[in-house]
């Protein structure tokens, strides 16, 4: 009867055991993008390094993001399309899982990706550019960087609004005695700001797709019955 009732409400329940287990759930893990947030990221601003060749680099940025499958990439493509940019020819394209992209263009190497990738590759970021990026991060915006092999060339701020229902949902779960956790591939600054806005006390930032399953297993080892909510392939 329960499985039938779920189907009527658009909920597919795998088997009776899943349904029986669900009442014992005492920990719930939420993915951030598209679950807590609307999953419709928009570019808020692009800040260029002093003296950067903006027109050519915009075309490079546009071309890289056109080939990426990341939701943030779509936001950048939509934003740059407004300025009628053209595509350029890339000699090489390499995806760095969970961190970004490395390309060869006009004989030079370029990176596009997370603050963690910039750190790993020892990329120099101008102090004034970093100050602006920190400001964006404190407002719960995601920052991605474009860099050559030594210097950051541009910081891109992307915002994804929190769903109106998220705060209420988190509160209801906590009132039922369920621990709520948030996982995100995003940086610490953004994760903290979003967690605070929705009232989540436990969160983990810069989580790679493979880390999500490990996190759930760790909670299960503490004796918790865990539910996971996400909208991506890697969540399932």
User: Any idea which residues carry the catalytic annotation?
Assistant: 31
The C-alpha atoms of residue 27 and residue 227 are separated, in whole angstroms, by: 6
The C-alpha atoms of residue 156 and residue 141 are separated, in whole angstroms, by: 10
Helices 188-198 and 127-138, packing angle to 10 deg: 20
What stretches of 126-177 show up as alpha helix (H) in DSSP?
Answer: 127-138, 166-175
The C-alpha atoms of residue 71 and residue 47 are separated, in whole angstroms, by: 20
Residues with Cβ within 8 Å of 122's Cβ and at least 6 positions away in sequence, in order, are none
């Amino acid at each position: 009867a329960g499985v039938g009732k779920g189907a009527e409400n658009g909920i597919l329940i795998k088997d009776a055991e899943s349904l029986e287990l669900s009442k014992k759930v005492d920990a719930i893990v939420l993915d951030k993008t598209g679950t807590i947030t609307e999953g419709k990221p928009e570019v808020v601003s692009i800040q260029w390094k002093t003296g950067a060749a903006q027109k050519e680099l915009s075309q490079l940025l546009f071309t890289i993001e056109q080939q990426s499958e990341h939701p943030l990439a779509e936001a950048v493509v939509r934003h740059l399309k407004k300025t009628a940019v053209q595509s350029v020819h890339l000699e090489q394209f390499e995806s760095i899982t969970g961190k970004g992209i490395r390309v060869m263009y006009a004989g030079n190497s370029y990176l596009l990706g997370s603050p963690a990738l910039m750190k790993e590759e020892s990329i120099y970021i101008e102090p004034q550019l970093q100050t602006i990026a920190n400001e964006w991060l404190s407002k719960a915006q995601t920052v991605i960087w474009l860099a050559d092999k030594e210097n950051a060339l541009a910081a891109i701020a992307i915002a994804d609004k929190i769903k109106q229902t998220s705060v209420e949902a988190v509160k209801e779960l906590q009132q039922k005695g369920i621990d709520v956790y948030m996982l995100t591939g995003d940086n610490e600054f953004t994760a903290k700001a979003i967690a605070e806005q929705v009232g989540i006390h436990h969160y983990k930032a810069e989580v790679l797709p493979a880390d999500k399953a490990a996190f759930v297993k760790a909670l299960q080892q503490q004796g918790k019955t865990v539910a996971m909510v996400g909208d991506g392939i890697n969540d399932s």
